[in-house]
C-alpha cells in the first residue's frame, strides 16, 4: 500500500506552480480556437461564469419596474453593437462570429435563464475571456437597466417588430450614397429624421441651437458626458460632419411632447420662474428661457418629461457633464428634492 507523507504532498504542491509556468513557457498548451474545448473544460468555464454572475449580482438592487420607455433606444444600440455577435430577429449571426470560441449565444433561448440582476451584471461589466465587453461607460446604470428591459422582450420579438424598433424604417447606413445621409440615417434610428425622438428617454433635438448640438456631440465623443449609447454614435460619426448634423436638426421645426406627465406642473412653473431662494436654486428660465440666452443652453420647453427627470437626476449624482457650465446644473440639481424634479419635468413638458 502506497503511503503519502505530508512532506511529499507539500513538495508536490510547491512544484506544481513552477510546472504550470514551465508548461506555458514551452508552449505545451494549445490555444487554437479551431480545436475547441474539452467537454469538461467547456462545462467548467460556463459553471464558473454563471456562479460568478450569480454571486456578484447579489449586490444589485433591481428597480421596481424595468424602464419600458428605454426599449427603443436600447434596440438601436443593440443593432449597432450587439447584433453582429448575438444576432437578432431577422438578423443572423456573422459567419466569422460563429467560429469564435466560445461562440456568442443566440440570446432569445437563454434570456429566461437569468434574473434581471444577473442580466444587469453581465451588460454593465461584461464577461472576461469571451469577447463580451463592458458597457461603454460605468456611470449610466439607467441605460443598462433600459437594455435589460429590451432583453426581456427580445425573445417574443419578430423580425418586423425588431426592425421597426432598431431602425425606425431606415435603411442600413451602408446603403446610402454619401457619408452625411448615412450618418443622418444612423441618428434617425432613435432621434427620427425630424429630431422629435422615438422614445420618452430620447430628447427632442429639433429646433435646438446648433451650438448646443455640436457641443453635445463633442462631449459624448470625448467621454465628458457619459452615455454608452451616444458615445458610440458620436465616435462613429465623422467629426467633419458634426456641424452639418447640428445644422440639420437645428433647422427642423420645433415640436412638443404630447404625453401627460406625473407631477405638479403649477409648482414646477413657480420653481422655473422664481427658483427656490432659501436653497439657492435659481429660476430655470433665467438660463433656459428667452431668445437671448447662452446658445449652448438647451431649450427645455416641450421636452419629454422622462428625459428631463433622468438628466436632472444625473446632474444631481454628478454624472451628467458636458459643457463648461455643467457644474452650475450639478449644484442646482443637488438642491432639488425628487418631487420637485417631477414637478419641473411636468411643467416644461407641458409647454407647447
Please indicate, yes or no, if residue 15 is contained in any of the structural domains. no
CA 284-246-251 angle, 5° bins? 85
Does 101 lie in the same domain as 176? Answer: no
Of 148, 166, 184, the residue at which a domain comes to its end is 166
Does 225 lie in the same domain as 159? Answer: no
Does 241 lie in the same domain as 280? Answer: no
Please indicate, yes or no, if residue 8 is contained in any of the structural domains. no
Report how many domains make up the chain: 3
Please indicate, yes or no, if residue 11 is contained in any of the structural domains. no
Of 132, 166, 200, the residue at which a domain comes to its end is 166
Q: Is 281 helix (H, G, I), strand (E, B) or coil?
A: strand
- Give the tens place of pLDDT for each residue, 201-215: 999 999 999 999 999
Does 156 lie in the same domain as 232? Answer: no
* CATH number of the domain that residue 149 is part of: 1.10.760.10
Please indicate, yes or no, if residue 61 is contained in any of the structural domains. no
Q: In the prediction, which pLDDT does 4 show? A: 59
Of 166, 193, 213, the residue at which a domain comes to its end is 166
Enter the DSSP assignment of 336: S
Q: In the prediction, which pLDDT does 272 show? A: 96
Please indicate, yes or no, if residue 203 is contained in any of the structural domains. yes
Q: In the prediction, which pLDDT does 20 show? A: 80
For the chain, which ranges sit under pLDDT 70? 1-4, 172-177
Q: Which domain holds residue 206?
A: 170-250
In degrees rounded to 5, what are phi and psi of residue 251? -80, -10
DSSP assignment string, 45-108: HHHHHHHHHHHHGGG----SS--GGGHHHHHHHHHHHTHHHH-BTTBPPPTTGGGSSSPPPPST
Please indicate, yes or no, if residue 187 is contained in any of the structural domains. yes
Does 73 lie in the same domain as 143? Answer: yes
Does 149 lie in the same domain as 223? Answer: no
Please indicate, yes or no, if residue 49 is contained in any of the structural domains. no
242's grid cell: 458634426
Does 230 lie in the same domain as 175? Answer: yes
Q: Is 276 helix (H, G, I), strand (E, B) or coil?
A: strand
Indicate the pTM of the whole model.
Answer: 0.90
Amino acid at each position: 500500500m502506497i503511503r503519502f507523507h505530508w512532506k511529499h504532498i507539500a513538495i508536490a504542491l510547491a512544484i506544481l506552480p513552477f510546472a504550470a509556468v514551465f508548461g506555458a513557457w514551452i508552449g505545451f498548451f494549445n490555444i487554437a480556437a479551431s480545436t475547441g474545448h474539452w467537454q469538461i473544460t467547456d462545462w467548467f468555464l460556463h459553471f464558473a461564469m454563471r456562479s460568478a454572475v450569480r454571486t456578484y449580482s447579489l449586490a444589485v438592487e433591481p428597480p421596481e419596474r424595468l424602464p419600458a420607455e428605454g426599449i427603443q433606444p436600447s434596440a438601436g444600440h443593440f443593432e449597432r453593437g450587439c447584433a453582429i455577435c448575438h444576432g437578432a430577429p431577422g438578423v443572423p449571426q456573422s459567419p466569422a462570429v460563429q467560429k469564435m470560441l466560445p461562440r456568442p449565444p443566440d440570446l432569445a433561448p437563454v434570456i429566461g435563464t437569468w434574473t434581471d440582476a444577473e442580466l444587469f451584471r453581465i451588460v454593465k461589466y461584461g464577461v472576461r475571456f469571451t469577447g463580451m465587453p463592458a458597457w461603454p461607460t460605468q456611470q449610466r446604470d439607467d441605460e443598462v437597466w433600459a437594455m435589460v428591459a429590451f432583453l426581456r422582450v427580445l425573445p417574443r420579438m419578430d423580425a418586423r417588430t425588431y426592425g421597426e424598433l432598431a431602425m425606425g424604417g431606415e435603411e442600413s447606413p451602408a446603403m446610402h450614397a454619401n457619408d452625411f445621409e448615412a450618418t443622418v440615417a444612423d441618428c434617425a434610428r432613435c432621434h427620427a429624421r425630424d429630431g422629435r425622438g422615438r422614445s420618452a428617454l430620447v430628447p427632442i433635438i429639433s429646433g435646438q441651437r446648433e451650438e448646443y448640438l455640436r457641443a453635445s456631440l463633442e462631449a459624448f465623443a470625448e467621454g465628458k458626458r457619459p452615455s454608452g449609447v451616444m458615445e458610440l454614435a458620436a465616435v462613429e460619426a465623422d467629426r467633419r460632419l458634426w456641424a452639418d448634423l447640428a445644422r440639420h436638426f437645428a433647422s427642423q421645426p420645433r415640436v412638443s411632447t404630447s404625453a401627460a406627465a406625473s407631477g405638479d406642473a403649477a409648482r414646477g412653473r413657480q420653481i422655473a420662474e422664481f427658483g427656490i431662494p432659501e436653497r439657492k436654486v435659481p429660476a430655470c428660465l433665467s438660463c433656459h428661457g428667452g431668445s437671448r440666452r447662452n446658445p449652448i443652453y438647451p431649450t427645455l420647453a416641450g421636452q419629454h418629461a422622462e428625459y428631463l427627470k433622468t438628466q436632472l437626476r444625473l446632474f444631481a449624482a454628478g454624472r451628467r457633464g458636458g459643457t463648461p457650465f455643467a457644474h452650475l446644473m450639478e449644484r442646482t440639481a443637488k438642491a432639488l428634492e425628487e418631487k420637485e424634479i417631477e414637478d419641473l419635468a411636468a411643467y416644461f413638458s407641458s409647454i407647447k
